[in-house]
Amino acid sequence: MKQYGTKAVVIVLIACLFTSLFLAAVPAAAQANFDVNAESAILVDAETGTILFEKNADLSLPPASMSKMMTEYLVLEALSQGQFDWDTVVVASEYAHYLGGLDGTSRVWLALGEERTVEELYTAMAVYSANDATVALAEMVAGSEERFVQMMNEKAAELGMTNSTFVNSTGLPNRMLGPYMHTGQAEDENAMSARDTAILAQALVKDYPEVLRFSSIPSVEPGEGKGHFDVRLLNFNWMLAGHPQPDAKPHAYQGLDGLKTGYTQQAGYCFTGTAERDGMRLISVVMRSDSMASRFQETRKLLDYGFNNFKTQTLLDKGDTIEGFETLPVANGKQKEVPVALGAPLELIIHKDDAEAFSIEVIPHQELTNGDGLLEAPLAEGEVVGYARLVYEGSPQYGTLDGKEAVEVPLVAMEEVEKAGWLRTMMRGIGALFSGAWSKVVDSLKNWFS
């Protein structure tokens, strides 16, 4: 968590500059007229985590195969760290083979000892939600699914998923794992809230956007490409354009390229969707909806609501300065001020039809300030010396996934400021002393002749 000074907070009203802007909060009247038919749901902006709608978002529910997003994340993380590559061969274990023969589940019928590449198994998991492929990957990453589940829970904690617990890598009910169940009780399933699911989806899309290369595949036909499977890999996401399933065609949604469906008897029909239009990517989650079709209908409602009512606005670009605050004061430096600029674009989600005032708070970094709240030299060029926080001057309804109610970006020093020598510091002190004494003399003279 960032630390801020409390004595040097500067507020700049910028209503005159951005009178057409409105932060992520949804007007109360608009919210009152919108709902979705699901026990829990959330809609967020993927870039900022701004919450545009939520319903029972902290209710912990079984996510079914949406759990596989965490498996996808950890596999992509291991790939990025060089633990293996897409062409690395994985040998199917007894556990993976057991799930390959489990009736009524998604699987690619992995044989005991069957060799498949990481990319083949990842495709089967991301497109077809294959449970045997998922376990094979989990064992590849961690050596065992039990250890992998520990990694899943650790990553959930790291991401701030406070209402989530994982007991397996697939999202299957524990009772279906037979002799390979290892964590929890037979009646247990994984658990996530809609908010936590959105946190996970946001991290997955932002940290490893290559996931969309897989999640956007409508189907993989038998015999198609190197290392094909005998079974047709038909994506359960009916909202993908070009999906070959006849029942899917009415659900196709422009710009949608992911992310993960889920179903068990306890979970009901779940779906985490993501779509991008005009440079804005949204993430939606519906949990425990009524039917296969309903989860897509409710997702459409959520995404339409977001795209029809909100847009991304870049107020200032990286490297821009804030008018009137191009510099910040520095104590004990060779220079008395340091020029500062934005270290990242200042962006926010705005409602298209509302107009409100905003303020920018310019806050020095507390770890770099003295007791008077001033930046203390030395300062390095490019060092983060403060933060620019854009605050909506109203009543935000939901805030962001990370709990912040304001958009915030770093301010960086544009020049190095060396620490002043003892002589320079002493002379400044003497100058300040005489300046103060002279001011008192002038004030006394004014009083005599007034």
For the record, the structure tokens of 243 come out as 């999906």
Q: In this structure, which amino acid lies at residue 441? A: V
| Cβ atoms 105, 176 nearer than 8 A | yes
b/e map 383-393, b = 16+ CB within 10 Å: bbbbbbbbbbe
Is 55 considered catalytic here? no
According to DSSP, the β-strands at 327-331 and 337-342 are: antiparallel
Q: Residue 312: its pLDDT value, please? A: 81
Residues sharing a CB contact under 8 Å with residue 35, sequence separation 6 or more, in sequence order: 55
Is 65 considered catalytic here? yes
Is 2 considered catalytic here? no
For the record, the structure tokens of 368 come out as 């770099």
The rounded Cα 433 to chain-centroid distance in angstroms is 52
User: pTM of the full predicted structure?
Assistant: 0.82
Q: Residue 116: its pLDDT value, please? A: 96
3-class secondary-structure state, position 361: strand
Q: Residue 443: its pLDDT value, please? A: 56
3-class secondary-structure state, position 140: helix
Q: Residue 13: its pLDDT value, please? A: 40
Name the residue among 341, 310, 351, 357 with its Cα closest to residue 410: 341
Name the residue among 105, 141, 103, 108 with its Cα closest to residue 124: 108
For the record, the structure tokens of 111 come out as 């044989």
| Cβ atoms 199, 403 nearer than 8 A | no
Gyration radius from the chain CA atoms: 28
Residue found under tokens 């079914």: 64
| Cβ atoms 152, 161 nearer than 8 A | no
CA 384 vs CA 4, 260, 309, 325, 362: distances in Å: 12, 38, 35, 15, 12
| Cβ atoms 309, 351 nearer than 8 A | yes
DSSP lists the bridge partners of residue 359 as: 13, 391
| Cβ atoms 71, 138 nearer than 8 A | yes
| Cβ atoms 349, 310 nearer than 8 A | yes
For the record, the structure tokens of 437 come out as 């004494």
Rounded distance between C-alpha atoms, residue 115 and residue 391, angstroms:
55
For the record, the structure tokens of 105 come out as 């589940």
Q: Kindly give the residue spans of alpha helices, DSSP state H, lying in 310-334.
A: none
Is residue 260 part of an annotated ligand binding site?
Answer: yes
Q: Which of 55, 60, 68, 284 does the annotation list as catalytic?
A: 68
pLDDT one digit per residue (tens) for the chain, 450 residues: 344 343 344 444 443 333 333 334 444 445 558 899 999 999 999 998 999 999 999 999 999 999 999 999 999 999 999 999 999 999 999 999 999 999 999 999 999 999 999 999 999 999 999 999 999 999 999 999 999 999 999 999 999 999 999 999 999 999 999 999 999 999 999 999 999 999 999 999 999 999 999 999 999 988 755 557 888 899 999 999 999 999 999 999 999 999 999 999 999 999 999 999 999 999 999 999 999 999 999 999 999 999 999 988 788 899 999 988 899 999 988 899 999 999 999 887 877 765 455 678 899 998 998 988 899 999 999 999 999 988 766 554 558 898 877 778 999 999 999 998 644 445 545 554 455 544 554 455 445 444
Residues recorded for the chain: 450
The half-sphere exposure of 290 on its side-chain side, counting CA atoms within 13 A, is 5
pLDDT in tens, 209-224: 999 999 999 999 887 5
The percent helix, strand, coil of the chain (3-state, each to 5) is 35, 25, 40
Q: Which of 67, 129, 193, 289 does the annotation list as catalytic?
A: 129
Q: Which of 40, 65, 93, 216 does the annotation list as catalytic?
A: 65
